[in-house]
């Protein structure tokens, strides 16, 4: 299990608020700062946001229906 969250200060900051162990984020402060959760080799938020991130649907709307579909045999990057 891995959790990625945003901190208000970089770890190298010499500020009292960044160094004091009593002022570090508590569990109740974590949800608004949570960026992603990883489990079993998968990042949940990042995986969902990057799914088909390079596909521009408007670019392919003018194509006939038979050309809009992509099958595994059309991919040649595995060779």
Contact 18, 10 (CB under 8 A): yes
Contact 31, 3 (CB under 8 A): no
pTM over cut 0.75: no
Residues 30, 18: Cα–Cα separation, whole Å:
16
Span 21-78, pLDDT tens digits: 777 777 787 888 888 999 988 888 888 887 777 777 788 888 888 877 777 777 776 5
pLDDT at 10: 74
* 11 or 63, higher pLDDT: 63
């Amino acid at each position: 299990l891995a959790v990625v969250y945003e901190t208000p200060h970089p770890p190298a900051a010499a500020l009292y608020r960044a160094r004091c162990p009593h002022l570090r984020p508590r569990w109740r402060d974590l949800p608004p700062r949570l960026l992603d959760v990883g489990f079993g080799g998968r990042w949940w938020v990042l995986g969902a946001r990057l799914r088909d991130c390079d596909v521009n649907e408007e670019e392919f709307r003018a194509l006939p229906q038979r050309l809009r579909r992509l099958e595994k045999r059309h991919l040649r990057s595995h060779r």
